[in-house]
Structure 1
């Protein structure tokens, strides 16, 4: 694994934020169900506040669709449509998978984020309500993601989407699902074309299959540097992994970041958003390097000094930049530009004093 410790960084903004707003304990003494309920309640509250603050309910309309899974259950896909979009022309579609270690997250926790991207990028966003641990273990989440992708292929015309302009992406565990969908779509014709994948703070390697988290001789690895990091310490990551209940840690669908060159050949343009003080930093940057090595157009943005999941705190300037990069990434995917940025872009943004403006052009 390459040494990415130079992106660990330090953020004055994060230090000041934590000093003024002490973070809650990880809650590892709670049962998984109690921890999930408390976390989801907070995330819904945050999402509802952002919906109101940004007046997103007047800018975006959404509708729920029921998707039949391979084991004859139903999951929900919520599709968000910008009200300023044409009512006749098909729109690009962003198939989104939420984060939360496969334990946290609901459709409602993602309403504000999905509506914001739909409005600012002028696209449809399809938010997948896949099933969670501990009730549903691996590979349920992967199967739900692939079934949602198949549903989109069968129904994209009916929801007003453009089958030649599909983006897949997600956050953390959801980014892993998106990466698996993208890799498998290269080998299977589902009738839709993925033009880009958006991998945000991605979890791409199962911890028990990750050489980063064991050798004390590699103090510069992200697992060693961020064992006690804010928001996602190692103990919480281990809980997520244990609840998945995977019998084979080397399963390729748990480790898309370790895919060989043949598996990533032909992947679409890919944009990475990575946090510097994150257990998952190195696997995200390593996967970005692998894609670039195989000729995949790649853009990478790193937030030094920021922990995993910092975006939930929407008043941070780094969070405003995160939102901006999501829109920029979608526009890059939909453009004819196939050039990579060439370098990892370090998103310090310490000099940004006002909320960035967005253009719908």
Structure 2
């Protein structure tokens, strides 16, 4: 039985020092969820813009992505101005925030930084493009709006003959996905849906047909939610008391009460069927339903003080069992979302690890 409690024995000293400097919340206790969302998005955009700056070697294109129902969502594409020869690999980054927070502006500084920094250090000299689609937030739009919109963004760029991929010089056969928290959940959901699409195609075409490969070439996941809290498989752990949901119930940034708030906005009054939907709860999909040949190499970044710690590590173990290449980085004593504070040395470690993982994934193509 698994026991990951050693990763949260004590808060990391760097985190303790940072906490002493953090200002109190800027919104009054009577603020609505919408006012809190607006304040968070504005604050994150400002602080990240001040830290990351505005790279002058990145081209930013803004457009809309058609989604089911005839509507659309905004998106931004970040490309190196001085790209090497050949089409650019694409990294689609779904943003964090409990399916509730996040905007074009809150994510822009890091997306531009990632595009610029990776391209400057890319040994192939090609670089990378970063796509950020902005799915509709909760509570105005509940599940399955967000996974369906995330899939629509992937389909638009990863489909054979993609007009947008051709227009922007992207390699539609070299698409990688990632995100933090809710964004990681959405990235996994796209990979599951892609696997199911191919499995269905194989059934229709028969065993003698050529076996397709997944269009998702890699996953980079930070603090991924992988199962509805009500369905967490405590039986896979040594004991319930040492689980991250119990051990980190009052953790900073994302205590369990806040997890529940986000989930209840995402899947309000959820039935048991909805809780188990494989667009949300991947951890409980039986191992035998996964095909290691249809699942991309996957990297995990997991925080020791995170209530979501165990479901991320258990999902990593699941992929290892079925033979998927995985890499796991654990940040002992740090809470969920510590990387939102880019001034931390641990956040610099996280950023560098992501660059290394992108190089690793791209080297496999």
Structure-2-length-normalised TM-score: 0.85
**How do 1:174-323 residues align onto structure 2 when only pairs under 5 Å count?**
174-188=183-197, 193-212=215-234, 218-244=240-266, 245=268, 246-247=270-271, 248-261=274-287, 262-263=289-290, 265=292, 266-323=294-351
In the TM superposition, residue 291 of structure 1 has moved relative to its aligned partner by: 0.4
Question: What is the total number of aligned residue pairs between the two structures?
Answer: 332
Distance verdict in 2 for CA 1:3–1:29, change over 3 Å: farther
RMSD: 2.4
- 1:299 and 1:26 map into 2 onto residues whose CA distance is 39
Deviation at 1:37, TM superposition (A): 1.3
Gaps of 5+ in 2: 120-127, 199-211
SS in 1 for 2:264: helix
Of 131, 134, 159, which residue of structure 2 is paired with 1:129? 134
CA distance in 1, matches of 2:118, 2:71: 32
Matched, 1:161 2:163: no
Decide which moves more: 117-126 or 293-302: 117-126
2 CA distance for matches of 1:269 and 1:67?
A: 27
Measure, in 1, the Cα distance between the counterparts of 2:27 and 2:285.
31
Which deviations, in whole Å up to 9, do the C-alpha atoms of 1:35-59 show, x marking residues without a partner? 211111111112221342xx42x02
Larger Rg: 2
Instruction: Give the conservation status (yes or no) of the 8 Å contact 1:205–1:257.
Output: yes
Contact 1:81–1:125 (CA<8 Å) still a contact in 2? Answer: yes
Secondary structure in 1 matching 2:191: helix
Equivalent-residue separation in structure 2 for 1:269 and 1:212 (angstroms) = 26
Partner of 1:150: 155
Q: How does 1:6-85 map to 2 (within 5 A)?
A: 6-10=6-10, 11-21=12-22, 24=25, 30-52=31-53, 55-56=54-55, 58-85=56-83
| Corresponding position of 1:3 | 3
TM-score (norm 1): 0.86
> Separation in 2 of the partners of 1:143 and 1:49?
33
Partner of 2:359: 331
- 1:116 corresponds in structure 2 to 113
